[in-house]
Amino acid sequence: MRKMKLAVVIAISAVAAISLTPGSLLADDREGLIGTWKLLEAVNEDLSTHEKTDIYKAGAVGLITYGADGRMMAIVVSSGRKKPGGDVATAPEAEALFRSMTAYAGSYTIEGGQIIHHVDASWNEAWTGTDQVRDYKLDGGRLILATTPSPNPFTGKMSVRRLVWEKLK
Protein backbone atom coordinates (compact mmCIF):
# COMPACT_ATOMS: atom_id res chain seq x y z
CA MET A 1 0.00 0.00 0.00
CA ARG A 2 2.81 2.39 0.91
CA LYS A 3 4.52 1.74 -2.47
CA MET A 4 1.24 2.52 -4.26
CA LYS A 5 0.86 5.82 -2.40
CA LEU A 6 4.45 6.71 -3.26
CA ALA A 7 3.80 5.86 -6.93
CA VAL A 8 0.68 8.08 -6.93
CA VAL A 9 2.62 10.97 -5.35
CA ILE A 10 5.39 10.59 -7.91
CA ALA A 11 2.87 10.47 -10.79
CA ILE A 12 1.05 13.58 -9.52
CA SER A 13 4.37 15.38 -9.09
CA ALA A 14 5.40 14.45 -12.64
CA VAL A 15 2.11 15.75 -14.08
CA ALA A 16 2.48 18.98 -12.09
CA ALA A 17 6.06 19.42 -13.29
CA ILE A 18 5.05 18.86 -16.91
CA SER A 19 2.21 21.38 -16.62
CA LEU A 20 4.67 24.01 -15.37
CA THR A 21 7.34 23.49 -18.01
CA PRO A 22 8.32 26.44 -20.23
CA GLY A 23 6.56 24.81 -23.20
CA SER A 24 3.20 24.99 -21.48
CA LEU A 25 3.84 28.57 -20.42
CA LEU A 26 4.58 29.36 -24.05
CA ALA A 27 1.26 27.84 -25.06
CA ASP A 28 -0.42 30.17 -22.57
CA ASP A 29 1.54 33.11 -24.03
CA ARG A 30 0.47 32.11 -27.54
CA GLU A 31 -3.18 32.25 -26.45
CA GLY A 32 -2.54 35.66 -24.86
CA LEU A 33 -0.91 36.98 -28.03
CA ILE A 34 -3.77 36.12 -30.36
CA GLY A 35 -5.58 39.24 -31.47
CA THR A 36 -4.76 42.77 -32.58
CA TRP A 37 -2.56 45.18 -30.67
CA LYS A 38 -2.30 48.98 -31.00
CA LEU A 39 1.06 50.70 -30.69
CA LEU A 40 1.48 52.92 -27.62
CA GLU A 41 5.20 53.67 -27.67
CA ALA A 42 8.22 53.07 -29.91
CA VAL A 43 11.65 53.85 -28.47
CA ASN A 44 15.10 53.40 -29.99
CA GLU A 45 18.15 53.06 -27.73
CA ASP A 46 21.44 53.77 -29.50
CA LEU A 47 23.87 51.22 -28.02
CA SER A 48 26.95 53.42 -28.42
CA THR A 49 25.50 56.46 -26.59
CA HIS A 50 22.52 54.88 -24.70
CA GLU A 51 20.44 57.80 -25.97
CA LYS A 52 16.74 56.94 -26.16
CA THR A 53 14.59 58.56 -28.84
CA ASP A 54 11.15 58.13 -30.35
CA ILE A 55 11.67 55.89 -33.37
CA TYR A 56 9.12 57.78 -35.44
CA LYS A 57 10.02 61.33 -34.33
CA ALA A 58 6.43 62.68 -34.35
CA GLY A 59 4.94 59.59 -32.73
CA ALA A 60 3.51 56.63 -34.57
CA VAL A 61 0.36 54.75 -35.41
CA GLY A 62 0.70 51.00 -35.56
CA LEU A 63 -1.07 47.68 -35.41
CA ILE A 64 0.24 44.15 -35.02
CA THR A 65 -1.95 41.07 -35.30
CA TYR A 66 -1.20 37.52 -34.19
CA GLY A 67 -3.52 34.80 -35.52
CA ALA A 68 -4.34 31.42 -34.01
CA ASP A 69 -3.12 29.97 -37.34
CA GLY A 70 0.46 31.10 -36.58
CA ARG A 71 0.40 34.07 -38.97
CA MET A 72 1.17 37.69 -38.11
CA MET A 73 1.06 41.13 -39.73
CA ALA A 74 2.48 44.45 -38.55
CA ILE A 75 2.37 48.00 -39.82
CA VAL A 76 3.75 51.11 -38.12
CA VAL A 77 3.74 54.57 -39.70
CA SER A 78 4.89 57.92 -38.45
CA SER A 79 1.92 60.05 -37.41
CA GLY A 80 3.47 63.10 -39.12
CA ARG A 81 3.39 61.72 -42.66
CA LYS A 82 2.46 64.19 -45.41
CA LYS A 83 0.06 63.30 -48.18
CA PRO A 84 1.44 63.56 -51.72
CA GLY A 85 0.60 66.77 -53.56
CA GLY A 86 -1.28 64.87 -56.28
CA ASP A 87 -2.82 61.50 -57.02
CA VAL A 88 0.62 60.02 -57.68
CA ALA A 89 3.50 60.64 -55.28
CA THR A 90 6.63 62.23 -56.72
CA ALA A 91 9.89 60.35 -56.17
CA PRO A 92 10.82 62.50 -53.11
CA GLU A 93 7.28 62.14 -51.68
CA ALA A 94 7.35 58.36 -52.19
CA GLU A 95 10.77 58.12 -50.54
CA ALA A 96 9.56 60.14 -47.52
CA LEU A 97 6.52 57.85 -47.19
CA PHE A 98 8.68 54.71 -47.48
CA ARG A 99 11.16 55.97 -44.88
CA SER A 100 8.41 56.75 -42.38
CA MET A 101 6.99 53.26 -42.07
CA THR A 102 7.60 49.61 -41.30
CA ALA A 103 5.32 46.84 -42.52
CA TYR A 104 5.67 43.11 -42.84
CA ALA A 105 3.76 39.83 -42.62
CA GLY A 106 4.55 36.16 -42.21
CA SER A 107 4.35 33.42 -39.64
CA TYR A 108 5.54 33.43 -36.04
CA THR A 109 6.92 31.00 -33.50
CA ILE A 110 7.64 31.35 -29.80
CA GLU A 111 10.93 30.07 -28.38
CA GLY A 112 11.81 30.83 -24.78
CA GLY A 113 11.29 34.54 -24.15
CA GLN A 114 11.33 35.39 -27.85
CA ILE A 115 8.81 35.67 -30.66
CA ILE A 116 10.32 35.01 -34.06
CA HIS A 117 8.59 36.65 -37.01
CA HIS A 118 9.35 34.65 -40.19
CA VAL A 119 8.91 37.37 -42.83
CA ASP A 120 7.15 36.41 -46.09
CA ALA A 121 6.46 39.96 -47.37
CA SER A 122 7.86 43.31 -46.30
CA TRP A 123 7.94 47.04 -47.03
CA ASN A 124 11.72 46.60 -47.26
CA GLU A 125 12.67 43.67 -49.47
CA ALA A 126 15.85 43.22 -47.39
CA TRP A 127 13.59 41.82 -44.62
CA THR A 128 11.67 39.38 -46.85
CA GLY A 129 12.82 35.84 -46.11
CA THR A 130 14.44 36.80 -42.80
CA ASP A 131 13.60 36.00 -39.20
CA GLN A 132 12.92 39.06 -37.07
CA VAL A 133 13.61 38.07 -33.46
CA ARG A 134 11.83 39.95 -30.69
CA ASP A 135 12.23 39.54 -26.96
CA TYR A 136 8.73 39.76 -25.53
CA LYS A 137 6.83 40.23 -22.32
CA LEU A 138 3.09 40.00 -21.77
CA ASP A 139 1.99 42.31 -18.98
CA GLY A 140 -1.78 42.24 -18.57
CA GLY A 141 -3.25 43.98 -21.61
CA ARG A 142 0.19 45.09 -22.78
CA LEU A 143 2.77 43.44 -25.00
CA ILE A 144 6.36 44.65 -24.98
CA LEU A 145 8.50 43.68 -27.97
CA ALA A 146 12.21 44.48 -28.15
CA THR A 147 14.64 43.76 -30.94
CA THR A 148 17.89 42.04 -30.21
CA PRO A 149 20.85 44.40 -30.72
CA SER A 150 20.92 45.12 -34.46
CA PRO A 151 21.35 47.96 -36.95
CA ASN A 152 18.48 50.45 -36.84
CA PRO A 153 16.78 50.16 -40.27
CA PHE A 154 16.58 53.98 -40.54
CA THR A 155 20.05 54.99 -39.28
CA GLY A 156 22.18 51.84 -39.53
CA LYS A 157 23.47 52.40 -35.96
CA MET A 158 23.50 49.45 -33.55
CA SER A 159 20.49 49.77 -31.30
CA VAL A 160 17.60 48.09 -29.53
CA ARG A 161 14.08 49.12 -30.49
CA ARG A 162 11.33 48.62 -27.86
CA LEU A 163 7.67 48.81 -28.80
CA VAL A 164 4.82 48.77 -26.30
CA TRP A 165 1.44 47.56 -27.55
CA GLU A 166 -2.04 47.53 -26.01
CA LYS A 167 -4.49 44.75 -26.88
CA LEU A 168 -7.60 45.91 -28.68
CA LYS A 169 -10.89 44.50 -27.47
CA distances from 108 to 52, 62, 157 (A): 28, 18, 26
In tens, the pLDDT along 12-37 reads 333 333 333 334 345 667 889 999 99
Report if pTM > 0.75.
yes
In tens, the pLDDT along 67-103 reads 999 999 999 999 989 999 999 999 999 999 998 899 9
Which residues have C-beta within 8 Å of that of residue 101, sequence separation ≥ 6?
Answer: 75, 76, 77, 78, 81, 123
pLDDT at 55: 86
Is the pLDDT reported for residue 130 higher than 80? yes
Amino acid, res. 113: G
- Which band of pLDDT confidence, cut at 50, 70 and 90, is reported for residue 149? very high
Nearest to 52, CA basis, from 61, 60, 44, 42: 44
Q: Does domain 34-167 have CATH number 3.40.1640.10?
A: no
**Can you give the residue ranges of every domain in the chain?**
1-33, 34-167
Strands (E), the chain: 35-46, 52-54, 60-66, 71-78, 101-111, 114-122, 131-139, 142-147, 150-151, 158-167
